[in-house]
Chain A
Amino acid sequence: MSVLPFPSFLDDVKEKGVKKAVFELVDESVERLTAGMNIQDIREALRGEAASRKPNPRLQPHADGFWLHMRPSYFHADMTGLYPTFRLGWLSTYFVFFETITGMLLMIWYTPSPLVAYQNMVDIVTRVPMGQLVRDLHRLGAEAMVLIVALHMVRTFFTGSYKKPRQFTWFTGLILLLITGFLSFSGYLLPWDQLALWAVTIGASMIEATPPAVVGENLNLLVRGGPDIGANGLLRFYLLHVLLLPALLFVFTGVHYYKVIIHGHSLPPRKENIGEDTAKRVPLDKRVYFIPDILTSEMMWVAVTTLILVVLCIWFYDAPLEHHADPQITPLGTTAPWYFLWLQGALKLGDKVFWGLIFPGILLGILAVWPYLDLTPSRRYADRRIVITLFLILISFTTYLSYMGLAEFGVNTSADAEILFEMTFPPAHNHMGKILPVPYSQLVPGMYTTAQIAAEEHGEDIGAALDAFNQDVDTRVVAETGTGELTTTEAIVAAELTVDHLSTSSLNFAPIPADAPELHHAMELFYQKFLTEKASNELLNPWGGVVITQHQEGLKRIDVIVSWDEVVIENGFPVLDENGEPIPVLDANGNPIRRSNITHLFIHEDGGYFSL
C-alpha cells in the first residue's frame, strides 16, 4: 500500500497492469492540460462527432481553462462565414503573437546602440542562420498587421458593428490600431539605417510642432532623447517597441476580447437589431461550437497565413537594409512609412500645427466617439447611406493625402540635382539609381553621352554625331570667365570633374559598346530625364555624360555629368517667354553660360545591385 492517502501509480500498475495504468495516467494528464477534455473527447471532436458524455466536455475548457475563457464557447452560425468578418479580427490576434515570437528571436542578436545596431542587422542577415528569414517575416508581418488591423476597423465601420452595445469595443479597437501603428513605426528606427533614421526623423518632427512651443520642444526632447535622434533616441524607441507598446497592446487586446465575450459577435447588419447581442441569445440550431469547428477553422487560418508569409519571405520579399544611418546626409525623397504617408501629405497642405496635429487629432477624436454620436437605429447599409458615403470620402481623402505624401509630389529641387540623384541614388525603398542595376561587366570603362541616344532617336550616324559632339564640347566658346579668358564646355566640365583618376585629361565620348545593352538602357533613361517638362524648362541644350573608370580590382568609379545652358530662374522656377520657352542667360559677349553638375559613385562587382 502506498504511504500516500490515495493509491500511487505503482498501486495502479499492480491492480490494472502496466498498459492500462499508463493509458489512464496519460488520459488524466491530457484532461488536466486541456482543462476538461480527455483523449476520447478530443478524438470525437476532431472527427466531427457529437460528444459522447455529459455534461458536454467541450464547454469545460471555456469554463475552467485560462486561454479559452477569453473565447465564447459557441459562435452564431451567421457570422462564421467569410462574410461579414473576413476573419480580420482573428488574423490581427495572430499577428500579435507572430510578431512577438519573431521579435523575440531578433532581440537575441540586437543591441540598441548606434555604435553596433547596424552591424547587428548586417550580422543577422549574413551570419545568423535563418536570420534574414526571421527578420523578413517580422518586417512583412508588421506591415501586414497594420494593414489587417486597419481593414478590421474599416469592416467594422461598414457593417455598423460599432453600434450599441459595442461602442466601447470599437473604442478599444481604435486604441489597438494606434498602438499597432506606433509599434510598427518604433520598430522602423531599430535597424539604424538611412531609411530608419529619416523616416523616424520626419515622424518625430510632427511632435515638435505641438503648440505651445515649450510643450512641443520638450515632447520632442522626451521622445528623441536629444535635439536629434542619437543613442538616447534609439534606446527610447527600442524600449517603446519591446516593452511599453507591447504591454499596452496586450492589455487592450485583453479588454477588446473580453468585450467580445460580453456582447458576442455582431451578425451581418440585416440579421441583428441595434441593442441586441449574440452573447447569450443564440438559438440552439444556430450554435457553432468553438470546439471543434471554430478552433479547427482558426488553426487552419494560422497555418495557411504562416505558409503565405514564409513563401513570400523566401522568394519575393526581403526587408530593406540601406546604408548606415547618417544624420549629415539627408537623402532626397525621404518618406514616412506608408501608413503615415497621409500625415506627411497633410503636412504639405500648409500649417504644420493644423495639418500635423489638429487635423489628425480631430479625425481620431471623431472616430473614437463616433459610436456615441451615431445613434441611428439601424445597421443596414440602406439606412446608412450618408454615413457610409462620408466614410468612403474619408478613405478617398486619406488615400489622396498618402499620394501627396510621396516624394514625387510637391518638393522642388533643381532639375539637374534631381536627375543626378535619380541616376545614382543608393538602394532605398526598394528603388535605386538607374546606373546601379547595370551589370558590372557591362560598365565598360570609357566616356559615354546621352548625345548618342539623341542621335539614335533622330536616326543619325552615331560615329559622326559623336565626333561633332566631341568637337563642340571641346572648342565652342560658351562663356567668358571673369578674367577675359574664353572658356569651353570641356574646360568647365574638366575643371569640375576631378580628373586625377582619369588617364586622360580631356573628354572624348565614345559609342556605348554593343555588348553593354544594360548600360545603353541606363543611358536611354538618362536621356529621357531631360525630356520632362521640368527639365526642358530649366536645362537648355542639355546633355548627360557617364565616365567609367576602373578604380581598383573589382571596383569601378562612375562619374555622372549633367551639362546645360543656364536659363533665367526666379523664385526657384524658370521664367518662360511668350512662346513658353525658357530664356537663356548670356554673358557680356552674348555667349550662353554653360553650367555643369557632376557627381560620382563607386560600384563593386559583388555589390549585387543587378541581382536585387
Chain B
Amino acid sequence: MLIPNIENRITLGIVAFVTTMVLLGWAAINEGGRMVALEDTFHARAIEQGASLFAANCTRCHGEDGRGRENFGPALNSPYFFGHDFFPEITDQITRLTTEQVALTAERIRPSVAADRATEIDARLAEIETRINELNAERNPQLQAAIDKGYNPQSPIRLNSVGWGGTLHAYVYTTLEHGRPASISYWPNGPMVAWSQTAGGPLRSDQLVDIADYILNWDKGDNWTLEDLFAVRQFPKVPCDPSNPLSCGIAPAGEPPVGSDVNAALTAIAALTGDAARGDQLYHGQVRSGTDNALPCAACHQAEVNGVGPMTAGTWTRAESLHDGDPALAGYTPEFYLVEAILLPGNYVVPNFSNAMQAGLGDLMTPQDLADIVAYLKTQTQ
C-alpha cells in the first residue's frame, strides 16, 4: 500500500478534501470579477468578428469607416444614427411651437370660430412663425455643411425619424436580418438586402449580432463632434411610400395636388363639374388620380359598416344632417364637412371611430379628383 498507515491515509484524504473545498470557496469569491472580465473579452471578440464581417460585406455601401457612400448607403458612424442632438433646446422649442401651430391652424379653419378668436389666433401664428425662423437662423447655419447633404436638423435622432420604439441594437439587428425590401424605391443603387440565413441571406444570426456589436462600438456617447457630423458622406433617408412619390422626395408626375387648405379647395371645386362615375372609380382605386396615385378610400370605408371607418353608403345623408346636428360641427356646410374630412381628417372624428384616417390625402389628388369624389359621395344617400 502506498501509504501503509490508515491514519495517514485518512488524514491525507481529509486534508485534500478540505483544501479542495477552500479552493472552490476561493474561486467562488472571485467569480463575479472573473465573469465580468470574461464577458468583456467575449464582447471584444464579437466586435472583432463583426469588424471582419463588416469589412467583407458592408463597406461597399456603408464605407470602410462607416460614414456612408453617396447614393449607395447611409452613414452608421454618425451622430444622427446614434441620436446625438447638438442643439437639443432649440429642437425642443421648435417642436413645441410646431405642435401649437398645427393645433391653432386646425382651429382657425373651422367655420364656427369667432371673429375675435380668429384675430387672436392669426397674431399667435405670426408670432410662432417669427420665433421658429429665429431659432432656425440661430441653429441651422452651424449645421449647414450637413444640411447640404440632407441632414434634417429638426429630426436629429434616427430612431425617432423612423418611429422605432426598441433599442438601437435591435434596430440594427432587425435591419440586418430582414434588410429593407422597400428601400429600393429611395436608394438608386439597390436596396438593403436581407443578410440572415433565415431570410435567405448568407450570414448566421450570431454573425449578425457580431456586426451589430461592431456598429454600436462607433457610439461616442456625449463626445460626438460637429466634425463627425460633417464627415458623413451620406445621411440615411427616412423610409417613404413608393406609391406616393412626394413622400420619397420625388416631384409627382401629374398635375399639382389640391393640398390641405379646405377653403381654397372648396373655391377650386366650385368652379369645376364633378363626375360621379369617375369619383366612384377613384374612390375604389380603379383609376389613378391626376397626381398619378391610387387612392386608398375603400380600404376602410366599405359597403357595410366595420370597425375601421364609417360605411360609404349614407355618407351624404350623414353629412347633410351634420351628424344629427353634432354641436362640434356648428356653422359647417355639408360640402365643407366632406372636404375637411378628406383633406384634414383629424379635425373632426366621427363618434365611435378613432382618428385612424391617413393624413395628407390632399397631396395625392388634384382639385378635379376631389370634385369627382365629392360628386360621387353626394350620390351616397340612405
Given A130-B31, A307-B16, A314-B27, A296:B48 Cβ within 8 A: no
Given A303-B17, A307-B16, A46:B28 Cβ within 8 A: no
1/0 per residue A305-323: CB within 8 Å of B? 0110011001000000001
Q: Is A132 an interface residue (CB 8 A)?
A: yes
Q: What is the chain B residue whose CB lies nearest that of A611?
A: B41
Given A129-B35, A307-B20, A297:B48 Cβ within 8 A: no
Residues of B within 8 A of A606 (CB): 40-41, 43-44
Residues of B within 8 A of A115 (CB): 205
Looking at the assembled complex, report how far the CB atom of B333 sits from the nearest CB atom of chain A, in whole angstroms.
63
Residues of A within 8 A of B2 (CB): 81-82, 297
Residues of B within 8 A of A323 (CB): 45, 49
Residues of A within 8 A of B5 (CB): 48
Q: Is B90 an interface residue (CB 8 A)?
A: no
CA distance A127 to B35 in the complex (A): 6
Whether B64 pairs with A498 at a CB distance below 8 angstroms is: yes
B13 contacts which of A81, A296, A553 (Cβ < 8 Å)?
Answer: A296
Q: Which of B51-59, B96-104, B305-313 contacts its partner?
A: B51-59
Whether B51 pairs with A126 at a CB distance below 8 angstroms is: no
A300 contacts which of B16, B31, B63 (Cβ < 8 Å)?
Answer: B16
CA distance A133 to B35 in the complex (A): 11
Q: Is B115 an interface residue (CB 8 A)?
A: no
Q: Is A577 an interface residue (CB 8 A)?
A: no
* Interface size bracket, A side: 35 or more
Whether B3 pairs with A607 at a CB distance below 8 angstroms is: no
CA distance A254 to B97 in the complex (A): 84
Residues of B within 8 A of A551 (CB): 51
Chain B 277-335 interface residues, beta-carbon cutoff 8 Å to A = none
Q: What is the chain A residue whose CB lies nearest that of B35?
A: A126
Q: Is B250 an interface residue (CB 8 A)?
A: no
Residues of A within 8 A of B23 (CB): 307, 310-311, 314
Residues of B within 8 A of A126 (CB): 35, 38-39, 42
Residues of B within 8 A of A324 (CB): 49, 204, 206-207
1/0 per residue B1-19: CB within 8 Å of A? 1110111011011101101
Q: Is B92 an interface residue (CB 8 A)?
A: no
CA distance A554 to B42 in the complex (A): 14
Looking at the assembled complex, report how far the CB atom of B204 sits from the nearest CB atom of chain A, in whole angstroms.
7
Looking at the assembled complex, report how far the CB atom of A228 sits from the nearest CB atom of chain B, in whole angstroms.
14
Looking at the assembled complex, report how far the CB atom of A421 sits from the nearest CB atom of chain B, in whole angstroms.
15
Q: Is B162 an interface residue (CB 8 A)?
A: no
A297 contacts which of B3, B39, B43 (Cβ < 8 Å)?
Answer: B3
CA distance A481 to B6 in the complex (A): 85
Q: With contacts defined as CB atoms under 8 Å apart, how many contacts are there between chain A and chain B in the complex?
A: 137
Q: What is the chain A residue whose CB lies nearest that of B6?
A: A48
Dominant SS among interface residues on chain B: helix
Residues of B within 8 A of A601 (CB): 48, 52
Looking at the assembled complex, report how far the CB atom of B212 sits from the nearest CB atom of chain A, in whole angstroms.
14
Looking at the assembled complex, report how far the CB atom of B33 sits from the nearest CB atom of chain A, in whole angstroms.
12
1/0 per residue B217-258: CB within 8 Å of A? 110100000000000000000000000000000000000000
CA distance A46 to B6 in the complex (A): 8
Q: Is B211 an interface residue (CB 8 A)?
A: no
Q: Is A603 an interface residue (CB 8 A)?
A: yes
Q: What is the chain B residue whose CB lies nearest that of A303?
A: B16
CA distance A303 to B41 in the complex (A): 34
Residues of A within 8 A of B170 (CB): none
Whether A607 pairs with B204 at a CB distance below 8 angstroms is: no
Q: Which of A55-63, A100-108, A117-125 contacts its partner?
A: A117-125
A122 contacts which of B3, B26, B42, B220 (Cβ < 8 Å)?
Answer: B42
Q: Is B122 an interface residue (CB 8 A)?
A: no
Q: Is B124 an interface residue (CB 8 A)?
A: no
1/0 per residue A544-564: CB within 8 Å of B? 000000011111010000000
Task: Report A's interface with B, CB cutoff 8 A.
Answer: 46-48, 80-82, 115, 118-119, 122, 125-127, 129-130, 132-133, 288, 292-293, 296-297, 299-300, 302-304, 306-307, 310-311, 314, 323-324, 326, 498, 500-501, 551-555, 557, 600-608
Task: Report B's interface with A, CB cutoff 8 A.
Answer: 1-3, 5-7, 9-10, 12-14, 16-17, 19-20, 23-24, 26-28, 31-32, 34-35, 37-45, 47-49, 51-52, 55, 59, 63-65, 204-207, 214, 217-218, 220
What are 19 residue pairs bridging A and B, where the CB atoms are less than 8 Å apart in the complex? Answer: A118-B206, A127-B35, A132-B34, A133-B24, A288-B1, A297-B3, A300-B13, A306-B20, A307-B17, A310-B23, A311-B23, A314-B27, A323-B49, A501-B64, A601-B48, A602-B48, A604-B47, A607-B41, A607-B45
Which 5 pairs show the lowest CB-CB distances between chains A and B? A604-B44, A606-B44, A303-B16, A602-B51, A500-B64
